[in-house]
């Protein structure tokens, strides 16, 4: 009898926790569409810490370095960009002569025939069909080779991440043939291998993990990519860990992993087209094998 009561109590507690988590995800779904990405991702990170065993959670956007050779266009309101007095204004175009293209029809001239208008409409339809056919062609694969992660949200105790960027290591010097390349941080597997989620029960066992404070820590790590359903492009990464001492150093339960996944999925609303939110695993690439780590 006591065992049955304990089981019933545990089931009721689990149901209550599941309902609380569902309400937390709904709070993300109901986020106003004008909410800034930083605010939305910060809310997602705080929910992860509140409803899972994670001791820390944080989020980064996928960024690309500025092109040093790119020159911004001139601001027409900038006085420095105004035309010089030494440069005379170009003369206005001469009015069209009767009979030339663009000239108004003379009195008594007949307006364009209906057939001519139909011909113009047919040309427009042909252009639309060509554009639709072009859209059907396979798009060029997304290139993340130059992109990096710029953190803009973090829970308490991880504020140092707000000024942190995770970049790929530089190539080894060409004049040293024995130099070995540094391993790419495993977080980039999300981008390079198009893997929506990576997880490890113990980050300290991973040789490619980048520990921001410079020394290994025991604990689990999970990172989820936030994709645009329109293009499949990764726009951000939301991650959480149980690294000791901020966390307990334990593995994340399957329930915790699922919650982190769904919070990450619903956080994709800011990256969607037309206000459509990401909905579950289907929008992020389907089921994923949980075998990797990224920090």
Taking 60 as the threshold, does the pLDDT of residue 148 lie above it? yes
Find the mean pLDDT for residues 261-278.
58
pLDDT of residue 180: 85
Q: Which residue has the higher pLDDT, 288 or 87?
A: 87
pLDDT of residue 271: 45
pLDDT tens digits along 20-50: 878 887 777 777 777 888 998 999 999 999 9
Taking 60 as the threshold, does the pLDDT of residue 51 lie above it? yes
Token pair listed for 40: 């939305």
pLDDT tens digits along 202-235: 998 888 788 887 788 999 999 999 988 788 899 9
What are the structural domains, with CATH classification, of the chain? 50-64+145-171+181-295 (3.30.450.40)
pLDDT tens digits along 57-82: 999 999 988 765 555 555 555 555 44
pLDDT of residue 4: 77
Average pLDDT of the residues of the chain = 75
Taking 70 as the threshold, does the pLDDT of residue 52 lie above it? yes
Helix (H), strand (E) at residue 262: helix 254-266
Pairing label, strands 221-227, 234-241: antiparallel
- 48-57, 140-149, 155-164: which has the minimum mean pLDDT? 140-149
∠ CA 189-193-194 to the nearest 5 degrees?
Answer: 100
What is the per-residue burial (b if ≥16 Cβ within 10 Å, else e) of 158-191?
Answer: beebeebebbeeeeeeeeeeeeeeeeebbbbbbb
Helices 37-51 and 2-29, interaxial angle, to 10°? 180
Single pTM value for the model? 0.66
Find the mean pLDDT for residues 143-149.
93
pLDDT tens digits along 94-121: 555 554 444 444 455 555 555 555 555 5
Taking 70 as the threshold, does the pLDDT of residue 263 lie above it? yes
Note whether 44 and 263 are within 8 A (CB).
yes
């Amino acid at each position: 009898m006591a065992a049955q009561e304990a089981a019933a109590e545990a089931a009721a507690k689990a149901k209550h926790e599941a309902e609380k988590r569902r309400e937390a995800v709904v709070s993300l779904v109901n986020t106003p569409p004008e909410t800034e990405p930083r605010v939305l991702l910060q809310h997602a990170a705080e929910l992860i810490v509140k409803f899972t065993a994670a001791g820390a959670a944080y989020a980064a956007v996928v960024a690309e370095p500025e092109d040093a050779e790119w020159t911004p266009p001139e601001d027409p309101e900038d006085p420095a960009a105004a035309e010089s007095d030494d440069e005379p204004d170009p003369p206005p175009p001469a009015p069209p002569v009767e009979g030339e293209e663009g000239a108004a029809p003379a009195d008594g001239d007949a307006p364009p025939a209906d057939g001519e208008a139909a011909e113009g409409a047919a040309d427009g339809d042909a252009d639309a069909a060509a554009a639709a056919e072009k859209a059907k062609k396979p798009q060029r694969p997304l290139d993340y080779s130059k992109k990096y992660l710029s953190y803009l949200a973090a829970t308490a105790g991880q504020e140092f991440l707000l000024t942190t960027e995770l970049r790929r290591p530089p190539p080894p010097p060409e004049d040293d043939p024995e130099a070995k390349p540094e391993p790419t941080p495993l977080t980039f597997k999300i981008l390079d291998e198009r893997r929506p989620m990576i997880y490890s029960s113990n980050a300290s066992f991973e040789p490619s993990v980048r520990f921001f404070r410079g020394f290994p820590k025991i604990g689990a790590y999970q990172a989820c990519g936030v994709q645009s359903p329109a293009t499949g492009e990764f726009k951000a990464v939301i991650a959480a860990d149980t690294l000791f001492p901020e966390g307990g150093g334990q593995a994340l339960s399957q329930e915790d992993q699922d919650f982190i996944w769904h919070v990450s999925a619903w956080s994709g609303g800011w990256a969607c087209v037309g206000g459509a939110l990401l909905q579950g695993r289907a929008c992020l690439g389907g089921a994923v094998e949980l075998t990797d780590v990224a920090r």
